[in-house]
C-alpha cells in the first residue's frame, strides 16, 4: 500500500483561524475580524494505492475558488486561494499514472470548499461522507456555514458512511472504508460537528489523514482549538482522543493544511507521546 500527499494549490487564512483566540462567539469572529494573516498553507489530498483500488481522501481545491461569493463575510475577508487548473487533483493523479476509473472510493472528511473542490474529477467513484455533514450543507444555514453545494457536479450523490459500534482506541465507533478493514473512518467532530478522519493501518502503524481536525500537528499536540469550531469542548475532546491514539500506537499525523505533512509522510515520522 502506498500513500501520496498531493498539494492542490495554496490557501491563506488568518492566524486566529489556525489557533483560536478567546472563547465563544469572540473566538469564532476572529477569523474574519483579525488583520493578522498566516502564511500560505498547502491544501493536501491523500491518495491511497490499495489492493482494492485507489482511495482518495478529500478532493482539494479548484481554480474556481479564486472567485468566491462576495456576500459571505468569510469569503470576502477571511480566505484567499491560489490554485491553477493543473494543480487540481485530477491532472495530478493522471501525472502519477492514476486515472479516474482507478479511483474506487472518495472519502470526504467534511464538505468545506477546499475539501470538495475537486469532486468533478470523480464521476465514476463511490463517494462517502458522514450523513450529518451532508445534511449540514443544505438550506440557508448551510450557506451561512460556508458550504457551496450549487458548485457541486449535478451527478454528485454521496453515500453515507456505515458506522459500526466497534472501537478504535479512544474512538467509540468506526466506518470501514475497505473490506480488509485496514482503512477506516473515525468521528473527529470539532471543525464541523460531523467531521471525520481516515486512519490507514499499515505496517504496524497508524497513518491519520486528519482533514481539519486540527490545522497543524503542533496544535493537536497542544490541544489548541481552531477559530471556527462551533463547540470548543467537543473540539478539545477530539484532539484529546487523537493524542490518546498516538500514545497507544505508532502514528503519523497528517492534517490537510500542515506545511510539514508531506515531509512527515515521506520520512515516516511518527509522533512521540508517552503512554
pLDDT band at 275 (very low <50, low <70, confident <90, very high): low
Q: Does a structural domain hold residue 133?
A: yes
CATH code of the domain containing 67 = 3.60.15.10
Q: Does a structural domain hold residue 217?
A: yes
The pTM score is: 0.96
Q: Does a structural domain hold residue 54?
A: yes
Q: Total domain count for the chain?
A: 1
> In the predicted model, what is the mean pLDDT of residues 91-99?
96
Q: What is the pLDDT of residue 272?
A: 77
Q: Alpha helix (H) ranges present in the chain?
A: 15-18, 24-33, 73-77, 89-95, 131-136, 139-144, 217-222, 232-248, 261-267
Q: Does a structural domain hold residue 109?
A: yes
Q: Is residue 103 a contact partner of residue 122, using CB atoms and an 8 Å limit?
A: yes
Q: Does a structural domain hold residue 53?
A: yes
Q: What is the pLDDT of residue 274?
A: 60
pLDDT at residue 273 greater than cutoff 80: no
Nearest to 17 by CA among 146, 139, 151: 146
Q: Does a structural domain hold residue 275?
A: no
Rounded mean pLDDT of the chain? 96
Domain range enclosing 24: 2-267
Q: What is the pLDDT of residues 225-260, one digit of tens each?
A: 999 999 999 999 999 999 999 999 999 999 999 999
Q: Does a structural domain hold residue 273?
A: no
> In the predicted model, what is the mean pLDDT of residues 38-43?
98
Phi, psi (degrees; rounded to nearest 5) at 82? -130, 95
pLDDT band at 204 (very low <50, low <70, confident <90, very high): confident
Q: Does a structural domain hold residue 122?
A: yes
Q: Alpha helix (H) ranges present in 5-65?
A: 15-18, 24-33
Q: What is the pLDDT of residue 215?
A: 98
Amino acid at each position: 500500500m502506498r500513500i501520496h500527499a498531493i498539494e492542490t494549490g495554496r490557501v491563506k487564512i488568518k492566524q486566529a483561524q489556525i489557533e483560536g483566540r478567546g472563547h465563544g462567539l469572540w473566538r469564532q469572529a476572529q477569523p474574519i475580524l483579525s488583520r493578522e494573516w498566516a502564511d500560505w498553507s498547502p491544501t493536501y489530498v491523500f491518495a491511497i494505492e490499495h489492493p482494492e483500488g485507489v482511495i482518495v481522501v478529500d478532493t482539494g481545491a479548484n481554480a474556481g475558488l479564486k472567485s468566491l461569493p462576495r456576500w459571505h463575510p468569510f469569503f470576502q475577508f477571511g480566505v484567499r486561494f491560489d490554485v491553477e487548473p493543473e494543480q487540481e487533483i485530477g491532472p495530478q493523479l493522471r501525472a502519477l499514472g492514476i486515472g479516474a476509473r482507478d479511483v474506487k472510493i472518495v472519502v470526504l472528511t467534511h464538505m468545506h470548499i477546499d475539501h470538495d473542490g475537486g469532486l468533478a474529477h470523480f464521476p465514476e467513484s463511490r463517494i462517502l461522507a458522514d450523513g450529518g455533514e451532508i445534511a449540514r450543507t443544505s438550506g440557508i444555514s448551510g450557506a451561512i456555514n460556508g458550504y457551496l453545494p450549487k458548485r457541486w457536479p449535478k451527478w454528485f450523490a454521496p453515500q453515507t458512511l456505515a458506522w459500526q459500534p466497534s472501537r478504535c482506541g479512544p474512538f467509540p465507533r468506526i466506518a470501514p472504508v475497505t473490506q480488509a478493514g485496514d482503512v477506516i473512518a473515525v468521528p473527529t467532530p470539532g471543525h464541523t460537528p460531523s467531521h471525520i478522519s481516515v486512519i490507514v493501518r499499515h505496517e504496524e502503524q497508524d497513518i491519520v489523514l486528519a482533514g481539519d481536525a486540527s490545522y497543524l500537528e503542533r496544535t493537536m499536540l497542544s490541544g489548541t482549538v481552531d477559530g471556527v469550531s462551533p463547540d470548543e469542548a467537543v473540539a478539545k475532546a477530539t484532539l484529546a482522543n487523537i493524542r490518546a491514539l498516538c500514545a497507544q500506537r505508532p502514528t503519523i499525523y497528517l492534517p490537510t493544511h500542515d506545511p510539514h505533512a508531506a515531509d512527515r509522510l515521506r520520512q515516516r515520522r511518527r509522533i512521540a507521546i508517552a503512554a
